Homo-oligomer: A and B are copies of this chain.
Amino acid sequence: MSPVRQVDVDALLEDVVGDHPGRRARAVGRLISLVDDEHPALREVMAALVPVTARRAQGATVVGLTGPPGVGKSTTTAALIAAFREKGSTVGVLAVDPSSPFSGGALLGDRIRMEDHATDPGVFIRSMASRGHLGGLSAATPQALRVLDAAGFDVVLIETVGVGQSEVEVAGLADTTTVLLAPGMGDGIQAAKAGILEIGDVFVVNKADRDGAQATARDLRHMITLGERRQAGDWRPPVVLASAHSGKGVDEFVEALAKHDGWLRSTGQLEVRRKRRASAEIEALALNRLKARLEARRGPGEDDLEGLAGRVVAGGLDPYGAADRLVDSLLEA
């Protein structure tokens, strides 16, 4: 955690809603740093953002992108940025994938591709620290999202790796969640296992020029059909074949996103999802507070965390019994 800095919240908020692209980008960056650092001014900032966001006629469209490492998420993100920019939309990117060049973890050295967008004021790219947050990504990401929303970005892309539990959850916070797969990675089983099949609104089989792409797409469609317990009029996730590197299929991908967005708005599902996101955010913040209370609690009768842990290690108490005592002592205080 960085040392606490004095923050001129009013000036930052003014820049975020202002017309100067450079100042706006800098203010957005600083506000997201406050989120990353869990800065004490964060409460004040978030409260101040509420009326700003409420004034906007339409919030940012939030697109999640997830998939296993090596599937081409960052190339796809770059292709999506270009496609949205061409349509005149501004794009914010939150990268919470530790293997992504966006988040500074460039395993494959293809960070260069991003530099196409580095000087475009209509694009803001930011990596989120994947560790160190009390409440994990599920607390920090929606707050960073609020900042980008208040700054007026039309589209926000959240790129996460489909490995950890919290990363998958973060992808599920989007309005539209895209799952990327590639041929020859045992995707079908993999997807089902990691639970990403359930969260996908749009599936992309990337690297579609490789052998087995059609088979992967067919397997996916089959699994989507099998998993269906839907009513008429419900959304059936499309499977798009693409090659983000060459640009093939990117238009179809963008079209699928637009179609899902239309479905969300026409059915009222957009409101449902945004409530779900707010609910997850509030819950994560509340659990942070409760966690701090549990850890700060002292006694009585050794019913604090340290005393209980000692008794569990010594073999005098089982962890469930210990957890019950801890919760009871908190609620009955």
Q: Which residues of A contact B (CB under 8 A)?
A: 42-43, 46-47, 49-51, 53-54, 68-70, 98-99, 104-107, 130-133, 136-137, 142-143, 146, 161, 163-168, 185-186, 189-190, 193-195, 271, 274-276, 278-279, 281-283, 285-291, 294-295, 305-306, 308-310, 312-324, 326-327, 330-331, 333
Chain B residues near A130 (CB, 8 Å)? 163-165, 194
Flag if B291 contacts A287 (CB, 8 Å): yes
Given contacts A69-B99, A275-B306, A313-B275, contact A289 B327 (CB under 8 A): yes
Report A312 CB to chain B, min CB distance, Å.
4
Report A269 CB to chain B, min CB distance, Å.
13
Chain B residues near A167 (CB, 8 Å)? 163-164
Report A283 CB to chain B, min CB distance, Å.
6
A contact face: mostly helix, strand, loop, or mixed: helix
Chain B residues near A276 (CB, 8 Å)? 309
Chain B residues near A320 (CB, 8 Å)? 42-43, 46-47, 285
Q: Which of A104, A142, A320 has the most CB of B within 10 A?
A: A320
Within the oligomer, what is the number of copies of this chain?
2
Chain B residues near A281 (CB, 8 Å)? 312, 319
Flag if B131 contacts A165 (CB, 8 Å): yes
Complex Cα–Cα for A307 and B326 (A) = 28
Q: Which of A68, A165, A326 has the most CB of B within 10 A?
A: A165
Report A268 CB to chain B, min CB distance, Å.
12
25 A-B pairs with CB atoms under 8 Å apart are A50-B318, A51-B315, A53-B315, A54-B315, A54-B316, A68-B107, A69-B69, A69-B163, A98-B163, A99-B163, A104-B189, A106-B186, A107-B190, A131-B194, A163-B164, A163-B167, A278-B312, A279-B308, A282-B305, A282-B309, A283-B295, A285-B322, A287-B294, A290-B290, A330-B331
Given contacts A47-B318, A286-B326, contact A195 B131 (CB under 8 A): yes
Complex Cα–Cα for A70 and B142 (A) = 31
Report A212 CB to chain B, min CB distance, Å.
14
Q: Which of A42, A275, A308 has the most CB of B within 10 A?
A: A275
Chain B residues near A330 (CB, 8 Å)? 286, 290, 331
Complex Cα–Cα for A46 and B323 (A) = 12
Complex Cα–Cα for A310 and B133 (A) = 25
